[in-house]
Amino acid sequence: MKRLVKVLLQHQGAASLALFTREIWANPRAMGAAFPSAPALASHMAAQVPLDRDGWVVELGGGTGVVTAALLKHGVPPWKLVVVERSPTLASHLRQRFPQLRIIQGDAAQLGQLLDHPQFPLSSIVSSLPLRSLNPATTRAISHQFEILLQPGGLLIQFTYDLRGTRTRLLPRFRRLSSRIVWSNLPPARVDVFERE
Ligand SMILES: C[S@@+](CC[C@H](N)C(=O)[O-])C[C@H]1O[C@@H](n2cnc3c(N)ncnc32)[C@H](O)[C@@H]1O
C-alpha cells in the first residue's frame, strides 16, 4: 500500500492528490473512490481504445486527469478527445492541466445534451464513473445515454471495484468483450470492455 501511495504521489503530484481528497470529503458518493486511479489502471483503460476508428472518444469522470493523460499517451489525438466531469472544481483543474482538450463540466446523465448534438458520432466511451455508488436513477440515465450515443460496434470501457465485474443487467444492449483485473491499483479494480450490440 505504501508503495502504491508513493507511485500515486510521483505520478500525480501532491496538489492533485490533495484536490482529489477534498472532493471525496465534499462528495463521497460521486467520487466513489479513495484514491485516483494508479498508472497501471489508467494505462490499461487507455490501451482498450482502438486508434483506427472514426468518431470521438469521450472520457467520463475525468477527476484529476490520470486516465486523460493515459489516453493522450496511448495516442488518442487531442482533437478527438472530449472529457466530461461533473465537479466544477475538477473540471477547472482539468482545463488548466489539458488546455488542448475540450473539457465539459456537467452530468453524464445528460451526455447527449452536453455534447451539443444527438447524433454526435462516438467511437468509444471511457468511463471512471462510480456506477455502483451513484443513485440508481442517475445510473439508469447514464446507461441509457451509453445506449443511445454509441452506435452498434461502439465500445464502452468501464472500471469497477466490484471484482466480479460490472453488473451487466445495467447494460442490456451491450456484450462484454473482455475483462481484466488490475491488481496494482488501490483497491484492485476490474476493467470491462463492452460492445454496443
Ligand atoms: C472514481 S473518480 C475517477 C477519477 C479519475 N478518472 C481517476 O480514474 O482517477 C469518479 C469521477 O467521476 C466524476 N463523476 C461522478 N458522477 C459523475 C456524473 N454523473 N457525471 C460526470 N462525472 C461524474 C467524479 O466527480 C469523479 O471525478
pLDDT tens digits, one per residue of 19-48: 989 999 998 888 988 889 999 999 999 999
- pLDDT per residue over 168-184, tens digit each? 677 889 999 999 999 99
Q: Which atom of ligand 1 is nearest to the CA of 142?
A: 19
Domains held by the chain: number: 1
Is the distance from CB of 161 to CB of 189 less than 8 angstroms?
yes
Domain that holds residue 169: 2-196
Q: Report residues whose beta carbon is within 6 angstroms of any ligand 1 atom.
A: 30-33, 36-37, 60-63, 66-67, 84-87, 90, 107-109, 128-130, 134, 138
CATH of the domain at 115: 3.40.50.150
Residue 55 has which C-alpha cell? 468518431
Q: Ligand 1: which residue has its CA nearest to atom 5?
A: 63
Ligand 1 pocket test, candidate residues 31, 45, 126, most atoms within 8 A of CB: 31
CA of residue 32 to ligand 1 center, whole Å: 8
pLDDT greater than 60 at residue 140: yes
Q: Are strands 150-160 and 189-196 parallel, antiparallel or unpaired?
A: antiparallel
As beta bridge partners, residue 85 has 105
Among 125, 119, 131, residue whose Cα is nearest residue 154 = 125
Across 9-20, average pLDDT: 80
Give the sheet arrangement for strand 102-105, strand by strand. 102-105, 81-85, 56-60, 122-127, 150-160, 189-196, 174-182
Q: Which atom of ligand 1 is nearest to the CA of 36?
A: 9
As beta bridge partners, residue 195 has 155, 175
CA of residue 84 to ligand 1 center, whole Å: 9
Across 149-155, average pLDDT: 94
pLDDT of amino acid 46: 98
Q: Helices marked H in 13-103 — which ranges? A: 14-26, 28-31, 39-47, 66-74, 88-97
Across 90-94, average pLDDT: 97
Across 129-157, average pLDDT: 94
Across 88-117, average pLDDT: 95
CA of residue 106 to ligand 1 center, whole Å: 11
Of the listed ranges 74-78, 114-118, 178-182, the one predicted with least confidence: 114-118
CA of residue 131 to ligand 1 center, whole Å: 10
As beta bridge partners, residue 103 has 83
Global pTM reads 0.93
What is the C-alpha to C-alpha distance for residues 155 and 174, in angstroms, rounded to an integer?
9
Percent of the chain at pLDDT exceeding 70: 92
Q: Ligand 1: which residue has its CA nearest to atom 6?
A: 62
Average pLDDT, whole number, for the chain?
91
Cβ neighbours of residue 60 under 8 Å, at least 6 residues apart?
84, 108, 111, 125, 126, 127, 128, 129, 142
